[in-house]
Structure 1
Amino acid sequence: MSLGQSLGQKIASNTLISVVGRIASGALGLIAVALISRYLGREGFGEYSIILIFLYIVLAVSDLGLYSILSREISKIENNENKIISSIFGLRILSALLFFVVSFVVLYFLPYSKDIKIGILVASPGFLFLSANQLLMGVFQKHFKTIWPMIGDIIMRGAQLVFVFLFINFKMSLLFFALAISFGALFGFFANMIFARKLVKFSFIFDFNLSKEILKKSWPLAVSSVLTLVYFKMDTFLLSLMKPAVDVGIYSAAYKVFEGLLFFPAAFAGLMLPLMSSVANSKQEQFKIFFKRALDFLVIATLPIMVGGFVLSQKIVFLIGGAEFLIASLPLKILMVALFFVFLGNLFGNAVIALDKQKKMVYVYGVGVFISVVFNLIFIPQYSYLATSVVTLVTEIAVNSIMFFIILKEIKYWPLDGRFLKASAASLIMGVLMYFNLDQNIFILVFLGVIVYSVTLFFLKGISKEEIKFIILKQPVSATPLPSVGGNL
């Protein structure tokens, strides 16, 4: 078996593990969200969502681009993996503590209720643990051990769900559900630390000289992370400042579904980053092959999710929040279209990093920030959560289109071919079938949708027998050159 096939099988199997794990942990998370939303109602769930969005913003700002730098640097053979992980981990802890302290000062001046402010303080330790967990993903991805963080995530979600059950049973207030976040993250952190140290015996150190070098490399990613955060999370934050908590609750019910699906492309693209980084400079033809195969896979996987989520949006929000949240189905439809571009954007972003063009991402995300902030400020006062949904879609289209053309300029190859059209046709056929059978149970519709899409895609020759064997049975796919339909630019 060739090295490329071996790596391909590792990526396929680890992506499959990530998907299965995410389905399990996502199910636990959605059960917790359903319980909390039904217990607290639209206003209470809106307050709970404000707590989360504030802390997610702090978490993203404190990253400093360290996760992506860790993934890239430890994939290089000549680097000392132990020293790099230890230094970046120490730097991440210091940055997280600093940004959380600063955020508490900012929190004092925000027009939130006392319960929301206290809830943010109560949940903040949990987000410190999440910050550490995120960094550890780079270690697991490099060693193709995604089953371990999958277990850690299930432990975290399971622990949180147990505490949610207990707090509902004892009729507790909003603050206790914020506390459940911290408890769950603590359990997940300890599990991931145990697993990660089986791979690398790292510690927490602060090497000033190495940290200085790391920050030199990571600052473009740090700026990009902040800009990404502004256009990706600022919509809910602005909504929380300009509209009542009820509106935030409605939008958050839709956004939780959207957000719950984002792990899959992030996990897949994260696995591709070390692989693309290893060949980006020395073997560009190999990079083109990796990029095209990854893009094909994401297109085939993403289109049916987008169409299915759009058609089933009303059933999905009813499942999560009950009849009180049915109004969230319209923003969910819009977000499901945006999901397609977000999925591809994960790969595009990692490809740009692998090509060592991360400085260009600052300008790309700057465009995203401008669109998101300006349009949300203009339209939220009149259109509320519908404005945030549409602006999210427009921003994702703009940002990911620019990133795609940055990649094309570097590799001089057009990777899209007939598979996109075939996957689109199969998805539309599946969507029509679902639409005319909406009286059926949602789980039956999802099952039928998977069958119809898979069979249709196969008959349209959007996926081959060899590729099916590769995914299911891990039998190697014969080496094939890049298709001429793409061609060099």
Structure 2
Amino acid sequence: MKIPSIKGFDQEALEKYVKNTGWLMLARVGSMAIKILASIALTHYLSKEQLGILNYPVAFTTFFTAAAALGVDGFVTRELLRNPEKKNQLLGTAFVLKIIGGLVILPLIYATYTIVNNYKTIDAPLIFIMTVSFTGLIQSFNIIDSYFQSRTQGKYIMRVQVAGNLLSAAIKVTLILIGASLQWFVIALLLDAVLLAGGYLFIYQKNGESIFKWTFKSDIARFLLKNSWPLAFSAILVSIYLNIDKLMIEYYIGSGALGNYANAVQFAEAWYFIPVAITASVFPAIMNARRDDQVRYQKRMQNMYDLMVWISMAIAIGVTLTAPFIFRIVFPAEYYSGAHVLSINIWAGIFVFLGTASGQFLIAEGYTKLSMLRTAMGALINITLNIFWIPKYGIAGAAFATLIAYACSTFWILLIPKTRHQGIMMLKSLLLITLYQKLKGSTDQPK
């Protein structure tokens, strides 16, 4: 298939990496569509309160599962690009580290729930929380994703994710048809992680590789932990300002409000696969350009920012215009107020897209601590605004808090001299300056 040329973009690079991104996109689009259909079915089966209780264990444990991942996935991808001959050592060492992390978080989750529940009674029972907490252990197999990303083999990721989500949706629909209780849907959340891990393991083995060749190396473990801990801490902070609003909504206004909010927000966050798929696909090209040609490196970063803005802005406009209509067509009446939340939250996607792209720059340059600090600021702003706005404005206040926190976090790099140029590049994309220049046929804009 011939990829159409775009002014200001390197055609050869576009051909290679758009095709790989296409596989990732197909996987994520399929996954998104399947998840949305299953979610719509759930809103017709569960009440707002039950949906809120179902979402709470994920929001509660996500901080711990992010910590269990240790931030090694993206770093292992980078190291596989640099040292492909160390594949088995890198994957094996990262796998063992993630297994240990998954085991360590189990008692921490139990203790945290006990403390919080003594202070304020949580609607979701402990068994729900602990069931979902095993996701942190199972996700250890997801390190295989790093291997396929380093080889720009997005088609394998596509197969795993689409198959896993098809099975997951089938399970949830089956539970609805047989009239299953809420606890079975909680078990299905854990099963989602099992299906994904099993899929990665199967496709890895099918491609002639074997996890039995993986080896643990203590020196590599020290290297990974030393270099990836800022990414791990950053992942925890990301999970905080992605999910703290849900916990605070449950605390301030109850599970019913959480169910309504979570239902709306998942439609806004469903699009977040796009920047992840794009950056995962082009990251090898960015790293190669950084090594060989600094000018091309900057051009590719600018083009990535441009694409992120164009795509996210189109999505935001389209969803804002159609959200009220969609909610009234597909959801029960008790969820209609979620349309307003979606119309607000969808605009945060612009900053998520740009933040994901600039995050690749921070990794490529080794600015992992700056990435951590940027995320910390976003989390702090989100928590602070939620404290004041959720009691006053309800779930709409949480949506506005998320929007502002994402914007501040993304453009925080403007305050740092060595990253300010990237912030300016993002601003040029956001203000459509580079779009105007490309349309005018400028030849001096980044590719």
**What is the TM-score normalised by the length of structure 1?**
0.81
Alignment-derived partner of residue 212 in structure 1: 222
CA contact (8 A) 2:382 2:405 kept: yes
2:354 counterpart letter in structure 1: L
Question: 2:133 aligned to 116, 124, 139, which one?
Answer: 124
Question: 1:382 aligned to 379, 384, 392, which one?
Answer: 392
1:127 CA drift (Å) = 5.1
Question: 2:163 aligned to 149, 155, 170, which one?
Answer: 155
Check 1:82–1:15 CA distance in 2 against 1; reply closer, same or farther (3 A cut). same
> With CA pairs under 8 Å and 6+ residues apart, which has the higher RCO, 1 or 2?
2
How far apart in 1 are the matches of 2:342 and 2:153?
A: 33
How far apart in 2 are the matches of 1:290 and 1:156?
A: 33
Alignment-derived partner of residue 367 in structure 1: 377
CA contact (8 A) 2:67 2:232 kept: yes
SS of the residue aligned with 1:261?
Answer: helix
1:291 CA drift (Å) = 0.6
Question: 1:185 aligned to 193, 197, 200, which one?
Answer: 193
Which segment drifts farther, 46-55 or 319-328? 319-328
Check 1:395–1:413 CA distance in 2 against 1; reply closer, same or farther (3 A cut). closer
Check 1:391–1:415 CA distance in 2 against 1; reply closer, same or farther (3 A cut). closer
2:179 counterpart letter in structure 1: K
How far apart in 1 are the matches of 2:325 and 2:88?
A: 48
Question: 2:202 aligned to 194, 198, 205, which one?
Answer: 194
Check 1:346–1:5 CA distance in 2 against 1; reply closer, same or farther (3 A cut). same
How far apart in 1 are the matches of 2:444 and 2:173?
A: 53
Question: 2:26 aligned to 20, 27, 44, which one?
Answer: 20
1:23 CA drift (Å) = 1.5
Q: How does 1:253-264 map to 2 (within 5 A)?
A: 253-264=263-274
CA contact (8 A) 2:64 2:236 kept: no
1:357 CA drift (Å) = 1.3
Check 1:79–1:403 CA distance in 2 against 1; reply closer, same or farther (3 A cut). farther
1:408 CA drift (Å) = 4.8
How far apart in 2 are the matches of 1:326 and 1:149?
A: 35
CA contact (8 A) 1:284 1:411 kept: no
Instruction: Compute the RMSD of aligned alpha carbons.
Output: 2.9
How far apart in 1 are the matches of 2:381 and 2:12?
A: 42
Question: 1:279 aligned to 281, 286, 289, which one?
Answer: 289
1:402 counterpart letter in structure 2: W
Which stretches in structure 1 are left out of the alignment for 5+ residues?
Answer: 426-459, 465-479
Alignment-derived partner of residue 236 in structure 1: 246
1:53 counterpart letter in structure 2: A
Question: 1:29 aligned to 7, 10, 35, which one?
Answer: 35
CA contact (8 A) 1:43 1:245 kept: yes
Alignment-derived partner of residue 165 in structure 1: 173
SS of the residue aligned with 1:171?
Answer: coil
Q: How does 1:257-336 map to 2 (within 5 A)?
A: 257-280=267-290, 282-318=292-328, 321-336=331-346
Alignment-derived partner of residue 107 in structure 2: 101
Question: 2:350 aligned to 312, 317, 340, which one?
Answer: 340
CA contact (8 A) 1:60 1:229 kept: yes
How far apart in 2 are the matches of 1:352 and 1:70?
A: 15
How far apart in 1 are the matches of 2:440 and 2:163?
A: 35
SS of the residue aligned with 1:110?
Answer: helix
Q: How does 1:41-52 map to 2 (within 5 A)?
A: 41-52=47-58
Alignment-derived partner of residue 261 in structure 2: 251
CA contact (8 A) 2:44 2:332 kept: yes
Once the two structures are aligned, what percentage of the paired residues are identical? 21
Check 1:150–1:183 CA distance in 2 against 1; reply closer, same or farther (3 A cut). same
Which segment drifts farther, 6-15 or 153-162? 6-15
Which segment drifts farther, 403-412 or 388-397? 403-412
Number of aligned residue pairs: give it.
432
2:131 counterpart letter in structure 1: V
CA deviations over 1:170-190 (Å, ceiling 9, x no partner): 211111011122233322221
Check 1:178–1:462 CA distance in 2 against 1; reply closer, same or farther (3 A cut). farther
CA contact (8 A) 1:331 1:386 kept: yes
1:77 CA drift (Å) = 4.1
How far apart in 2 are the matches of 1:122 and 1:213?
A: 32
CA deviations over 1:435-483 (Å, ceiling 9, x no partner): xxxxxxxxxxxxxxxxxxxxxxxxx97599xxxxxxxxxxxxxxx9642
Alignment-derived partner of residue 76 in structure 2: 70
1:44 CA drift (Å) = 0.8
Alignment-derived partner of residue 434 in structure 1: none
1:415 CA drift (Å) = 6.6
1:410 CA drift (Å) = 5.9
How far apart in 2 are the matches of 1:199 and 1:405?
A: 48
Alignment-derived partner of residue 225 in structure 1: 235
1:17 counterpart letter in structure 2: W
1:395 lines up with 2:405 in the alignment: yes
CA contact (8 A) 1:317 1:326 kept: yes
**What is the TM-score normalised by the length of structure 2?**
0.88
CA contact (8 A) 1:89 1:205 kept: no
CA deviations over 1:46-104 (Å, ceiling 9, x no partner): 11111221232222222221112112111114761221111112111211221233112
Alignment-derived partner of residue 86 in structure 2: 80
Which segment drifts farther, 193-202 or 368-377? 193-202
Check 1:60–1:319 CA distance in 2 against 1; reply closer, same or farther (3 A cut). farther
2:356 counterpart letter in structure 1: N
1:278 CA drift (Å) = 3.1
1:205 CA drift (Å) = 4.0
Alignment-derived partner of residue 5 in structure 2: none
Alignment-derived partner of residue 436 in structure 1: none
CA contact (8 A) 2:54 2:124 kept: no
Alignment-derived partner of residue 64 in structure 2: 58
CA deviations over 1:126-154 (Å, ceiling 9, x no partner): 45434532x33222211111121221112
Check 1:415–1:283 CA distance in 2 against 1; reply closer, same or farther (3 A cut). farther
1:245 CA drift (Å) = 0.1
